[in-house]
A and B are shown apart, each in its own frame.
Chain A
């Protein structure tokens, strides 16, 4: 317990100042909490600044640390019960919801099995009442980004697990969002497919210059992908560290075997171990 309390959020600024480079944040999360009606405290007073410049942020932690809950609160899928989530540079609608273009990728591909790949990717635009003929190129662009333009007329059941996940990512990109929220998107895939999709996601991120918030429980995945890792602990869910990963992009397999990568993995693993130890202390 003490070890975690001894790790104040300020220590993050020592490790490379991931925040504050942009004068105005894209998302400003101020001591956000989530308590479920049954009394379970999923998230306690989490504060986080997501800068205006594109970042690849990983939310890393053991199960039950509230990382998915935090992501869902950012997306608006769940309401927070305390604190505030602001989009300072984004206009709001009449109901007080930010008009941010968000792409969300679930752990499962979550495709409509009755619709073709094209129609699945077209869905977000269709829901915003864009005519198919008008946005055809936009949908095909999204499919091209994930390398599936040849499968536009296929149906989900004809695709492999990795390809389905690509369709899911293409759908999230179809509205050309500023923020891509991903909730353990590759956790259900096999190792080889996951490594491949990691690389594809990175090159996509570099090209599109968007902010990615990526929930994962894999130290290696987060250290490979992100330029910033938020480490969270469970019971109650809270942020225990905010680390910048200063390795240059593009990252390739060479980075995966570099000593810098190993050092980051070691550091993050150590923090995670503290988080887990804290949980065991409480029991």
Chain B
């Protein structure tokens, strides 16, 4: 018995030591991971602190450059006027984005269905894309009866191109053997589109949507700048213009912060959507396996 106990004795110590060591490693790994995740936040806070300090040391007047604290304060104080404007801009963005998502998909399918159609139309889609929206916006505002409609058209024009081109590329890059397999089993054109080409182009389409989301917001804001409409229906861009005229620079910044946050939110939401749809099968969303 004694001999066995002696033999067995060192073992619990070993057992006790290894978990501690493992725990130490694990804690270190967790800390490292959290730090890595938080790195952009830490960097941002640092930047804001430097900004605030520089503004205070150099006594920069708020109408040249307000400090982050003043901007935050203004954002809080003026939230009552800024938030309804944000909602107006956001509404135009969302509707334009939805139209780009649906219209872009349909147009992409049209392009993919016929080389003739693609060859005839694609150059003009490119022309629309490369012509600066600021330059066309005044025309659209003149032509469209309703300003909201004009804004919508501008935002849509900017957003739809990446959806169209991505969809067209995705639809045309279907696996050749799979296409032949569908042919072999006598699949109809509709079946090939619905069961093969559309699912295969999903990663491309979703990537297009992520770009389009941000562009729709930019398009909406730019068009609002050009339209410059005041009154109850004015979006965030007009609030920025207005604040600029009145030299309320902190308010300009506050509106800018809201626009940026909205853009980030749209991108995050679309990334999440993409991940949810693709996670079962696509490398971009599935993570290591």
Contact = CB atoms under 8 A, between A and B. Distances in A.
**A and B pair up:** yes
Contacts of A255: none
B281 A127 contact: no
Interface in A152-178: 155-158, 175
B37 interface: no
Nearest to B180: A77
A26 B91 CA distance: 65
B8 to A, nearest CB: 42
B281 A157 contact: yes
A156 B281 CA distance: 8
A118 interface: no
Interface in B230-289: 280-283, 286, 289
Given A77-B180, A126-B195, A157-B286, A113 B185 contact: no
Contacts of B32: none
Contacts of A76: 184
A110 B184 contact: no
Contacts of A106: 177, 180-181
Q: How large is the interface on B (under 10, 10 to 19, 20 to 34, 35 or more residues)?
A: 20 to 34
A204 interface: no
B178 interface: yes
B126 to A, nearest CB: 30
A115 B286 CA distance: 14
B184 A112 contact: no
Given A127-B191, A157-B286, A158-B289, A110 B178 contact: yes
B56 interface: no
Contact of A104 (B175, B181, B280, B286): B181
A112 B185 contact: no
Interface string A92-106: 000000000010101
Interface of B is mostly: helix
Interface in B178-213: 178, 180-187, 191, 195-196, 199-200, 202
Contact of A112 (B186, B187, B196): B196
B289 A110 contact: no
Contacts of B283: 157
Interface in A67-84: 75-77
Nearest to B186: A127
A65 B196 CA distance: 32
Contact of A113 (B184, B186, B187, B282): B282
Contacts of B182: 127
A10 B105 CA distance: 59
Given A126-B195, A157-B286, A158-B289, A110 B181 contact: yes
A240 to B, nearest CB: 28
11 contacts: A75-B184, A77-B183, A108-B177, A110-B177, A113-B281, A113-B282, A114-B282, A123-B181, A157-B281, A157-B283, A157-B286
Given A75-B184, A114-B280, 4 more contacts: A112-B196, A114-B281, A126-B195, A128-B186
Give 9 closest A-B pairs by Cβ, nearest first.
A110-B177, A113-B281, A127-B185, A114-B281, A114-B199, A106-B177, A124-B185, A127-B187, A155-B280
